[in-house]
Amino acid sequence: MLKARRALVTGSTSGIGLAIARALAAEGAEVILNGFGDPEEIARLCAELGARHHGANLMDPAAIAAMMDEIGPVDILVNNAGMQHVAPVEEFPPEKWDAILALNLTAAFHTTRLAVPAMKAKGWGRIISTASAHSLAASPFKSAYVAAKHGLAGFTKVIALELATHGITANCISPGYVWTPLVEQQIPDTMAARGLSREEVIRDVLLAKQPTKRFVAPEEVAALAVFLCSDAAASITGANYSIDGGWTAE
Ligand code: NAD
């Protein structure tokens, strides 16, 4: 379905991004991976997916510009790279705030502004951003993440309007808790912030939010991304799709 489409998936050496990259490659897209990790593992992923990798640090606008220049025009842009930090606002390290805003929000502005001219010239494009249930609802101790994800959802609506007559759609996918390293790594901080055990964090904080009482699978998120890239989704733009086991229905 996506033969002859070039797709950049940011933050795709792990978790949700990797699942999206795998699914787009399975549909025939030429995939560019981005993100950090063990070089041997990344080389193995490139071989598996027939993909290229660019290791740009997306907190650095100059590195983003260099990456967009080096990889060439993209038809599909998936803004997925993100990070989390969990702490009460009065203890939230200002440098963590800046890093989360830079990676989870500002990077999407830079990739988008640099990808759009070629999409407009072609009259076709798909921009998908991995937002979060936290683009729609808040949780305590996640001030920077919730601010960034609400911002990403707003940014997506604006570019959807700007690009609506150019054959380019822009949408957010907003997962609830997906079992990835990002979730696993926030468990110790959440244990500290709330004074809970690991099991209590999983049951009473993470899955407490999800009526389905199970983690979302990265492949479920990837399947939605593939659908949004299809011609059947040509009229879906400016949307924010929840895939959160019912979390934001409450
Ligand atoms: P993950 O930690 O498994 O993967 C993050 C990816 O981003 C990795 O490939 C990592 O190398 C890359 N990355 C980190 N810093 C980077 C930087 N400075 N420059 C370039 N790449 C960088 O995380 P995940 O859970 O797969 O999360 C992916 C996205 O999904 C994030 O935007 C996250 O906020 C969002 N999300 C995750 C969940 C969840 O429960 N896991 C829920 C909702 C939204």
- Domain boundary assignment for the chain: 6-178+217-243
Q: What architecture is domain 6-178+217-243?
A: 3-Layer(aba) Sandwich (3.40)
Over residues 142-147, the mean pLDDT reads 98
Q: In what order do the strands lie in the sheet with 240-243?
A: 52-54, 30-34, 6-9, 76-79, 125-130, 168-175, 240-243
Percent of residues, the chain, with pLDDT higher than 70: 100
Query: Environment class of residue 197 by beta-carbon count within 10 Å: exposed (0-12), middle (13-18) or buried (19+)?
Result: exposed
Q: Which residues contact 142 (CB under 8 A, 6 or more apart)?
A: 84, 85, 86, 134
Q: Which residues are catalytic?
A: 145
Residue 182: predicted pLDDT: 83
Over residues 125-131, the mean pLDDT reads 98
In the predicted structure, residue 186 carries a pLDDT above the cut 90: no
Residue 175: predicted pLDDT: 98
Of 59-63, 72-76, 185-189, 233-237, the poorest mean pLDDT is in: 185-189
pTM of this structure: 0.96
**Atom number of ligand 1 nearest to Cα 36:** 11
Tens-place pLDDT, residues 23-46: 999 999 999 999 999 999 999 999
Percent of residues, the chain, with pLDDT higher than 90: 94
Nearest CA owner, ligand 1 atom 23: 182
- The residues lining ligand 1, judged by C-beta closer than 6 Å to any ligand atom, are 11-17, 34-37, 57-59, 80-83, 103-104, 130, 132, 175, 177-178, 180-183
In the predicted structure, residue 79 carries a pLDDT above the cut 90: yes
Residue 131: predicted pLDDT: 98
> Whole-angstrom Cα distance, residue 175 to residue 187?
18
| Residue ranges of E strands in 67-155 | 76-79, 125-130
- What single string gives the DSSP state of each residue in 158-225? HHHHHHGGGTEEEEEEEES-B-SHHHHHHHHHHHHHHT--HHHIIIIIIGGG-TT-SPBPHHHHHHHH
Beta bridge partners of 34: 54
Residue 30 phi/psi, 5-degree rounding, is: -85, 115
Amino acid at 202: I
* Mean pLDDT across the chain: 97
Beta bridge partners of 201: none
Cα of 181 from ligand 1 centre, angstroms: 8
Nearest CA owner, ligand 1 atom 41: 178
